[in-house]
Chain A
Amino acid sequence: MKLAAIQAAFVSAATGRNEFETALLASVRAQGNASASERLNAYRANVKGAHLQALDQAYPVLREVLGPRYWRQLLERELPVYASPSSDLNAYGDFMPELLRRARSERPELRELSYLDALATLEWHVHRVRFVADDTAFDWDTFANLPGDVQASARFLRSKALAVVQLDYPVDQIWRSHNNLETVEDGKAERTYCCVHRTGRFDVGVTRLDRKEFEMLQSASTIPIGGLTGADTEALAQQIVAWIRRGWITGFAIDQ
């Protein structure tokens, strides 16, 4: 087999697909105490183990909610293949909300747990925010010295280490409870808005927003500052200053 064919067959087989296995096994020397299939299975176990470990790290709350044994069994059955389009293991696992939606439609024991996909969505954002580049602080001096008309046409820039999320359940309570920050209240379906952000140098926090805050924070990067005026301009200004102080807004852009 040529190198390219070996590699295609090996990655395919090691990540749980079988279509090239026969060709690959024919190119392998079987000797000693293990057959060629057993040897290939050692790689399958390694690959699966690495990906399951990555999912454990990305979804610690889901794992706890479902129980580690059920979580592992669910992943073993619902993940037919273990391959990733990225060399970055931290980028593996964005499929979890969809996987849970599918699992809930097929597994009676999960049918009532309709908040799971929302919890997965929230945890994925927490996971990603953890690894995003650190932002510099908002440059107050430069902003304050802009001419009034330029200031009004500028747009605020949200921190790169921030996600504004709309969820169908108040699962931020579950997340905070897991992190010993809050006790869980009634978890009925309820449109919930959250900001996932850094706290301190690298911890991640989840802060509940009301709908107005959510919409404003979501549009802050697209609407010129002059267009952000609401019914209460003073309250709006205070809100934006608070977000800048919390590091949620870290810069501004001036369109040419």
Chain B
Amino acid sequence: MSQRTSSARVLEGTGVGLRGPHVPAILAGRPAVRWFELLTDNHLAAGGAPRFQAESIAEHYPVALHGVGMSLGSVELLDIGYVRRVRDLARRIGAVHVSEHIAFAASGGLHSHDLLPLPWTEEALEHLAGRVNRAQHELGERMLLENVSTYIEYREADFSEGQFLSALVAETGCGLLLDVNNVYVNSVNHGRDPMELLNAIPWASVGEIHVAGHDARGGLLIDTHGCRVAGPVLELFAQVIGRAPDVPVLLEWDTQLPAWETLWHEAQRIEAARRRGLARHAA
């Protein structure tokens, strides 16, 4: 299973998660963003503005697709129609790769529209790996799968999270989308060292890195994607960049959406942090 080869485009440096309200400013000003990541589910509509936006942005920038609706960890039937719509969208806009999450969202025919955590068990691994293989077969390419933020961990566990991700890569050949904010949020929420996960994952499989903002609510950190990237996350990011120097980085900002200029400024701050991390690593 290989990455899409039909597109000559590559993802380099720091990209930005595309959000609908910013599209007019981006198309009008054509800022020097290295690449955009489109939320797959926002652009699966058969027509109208979502489709136009995806096609227009892809005309001018390298793009990747990042979805939340595949519910790969769910025990429900895999929605093959959905996977094929993702495949068709990816081909139409020349997406460099397609990514999803290590989570489930639906059960009993009901969708939560949230990324709910899987237990780190043999049963979950076997089930998830089977569905990832099926989805990759339908997509005709290797997917990247993201570690999600979690507020709950199950008592029953056969693996640590890092071991689970490693085993998933080994069984499916998928890549990893390493969300550094999620690593940090989980380390605080579950009282563990973030390096446990970073020391366990197969770095050669990491194909994209995410950073985002989080908020504190009660005794938990919540992965809100609604503010600037926090200092401790940037410190962790500097270490991550040392281990994955050529991997594209993506800034996500979804809630409390700022004006495009603010988001662009934050992306430039992340790119500067990435370059500092690279320089530190080279030294």
Q: Which residues of A contact B (CB under 8 A)?
A: 1-4, 6-8, 10-12, 14-15, 27-29, 31-34, 36, 38-40, 42-43, 45-47, 50-51, 54, 82-90, 92, 130-134, 161, 198, 201-202
Contacts and interface: CB of A to CB of B under 8 A. Distances in A.
A89 B107 contact: no
B283 interface: no
Contact of B189 (A1, A2, A32): A32
17 contacts: A3-B118, A6-B154, A10-B107, A11-B112, A29-B155, A32-B189, A32-B190, A34-B151, A34-B189, A34-B219, A46-B114, A50-B113, A85-B109, A90-B45, A131-B50, A134-B48, A201-B52
Nearest to A53: B255
A28 B116 CA distance: 13
Contacts of A1: 154, 156
Nearest to B82: A87
B257 to A, nearest CB: 11
Contacts of A85: 109-111
A161 B46 CA distance: 10
Nearest to B69: A87
A133 B151 CA distance: 38
B232 interface: no
A29 B69 contact: no
Contact of A39 (B75, B127, B220): B220
Given A38-B218, A87-B69, A202-B48, A7 B41 contact: no
Contacts of A88: 41, 44, 69
B191 to A, nearest CB: 5
Given A2-B123, A40-B152, A87 B48 contact: no
B220 A42 contact: yes
B154 A27 contact: yes
A47 B48 contact: no
A7 B218 contact: no
B155 A202 contact: no
B181 interface: no
B48 A51 contact: no
A82 B111 CA distance: 9
A171 B158 CA distance: 58
Nearest to B127: A3
B121 A131 contact: no
Interface of B: 41, 44-52, 69, 71, 73-75, 79, 82, 104-114, 116, 118-119, 121, 123-124, 127, 151-156, 189-191, 217-220, 222
B109 to A, nearest CB: 6
A28 B114 contact: no
A19 B48 CA distance: 41
B127 to A, nearest CB: 6
A1 B230 CA distance: 36
A95 to B, nearest CB: 14
Contacts of A3: 75, 118-119, 121, 123-124, 127
Q: Which 4 A-B pairs have the closest CB atoms?
A: A33-B219, A133-B46, A134-B47, A131-B45
A11 B106 CA distance: 7
Contacts of B114: 14, 43, 46-47, 50
A8 B76 CA distance: 10
Contacts of B104: 7, 10
B108 A51 contact: no
A87 B79 contact: yes
Nearest to A131: B45
Contacts of B44: 88
A44 to B, nearest CB: 9
B201 to A, nearest CB: 22
A11 B217 contact: no
Contact of B51 (A29, A84, A134): A134
Given A27-B156, A29-B155, A32-B189, A51 B113 contact: yes
Nearest to A40: B152
Given A3-B124, A42-B222, A89-B41, A28 B47 contact: no
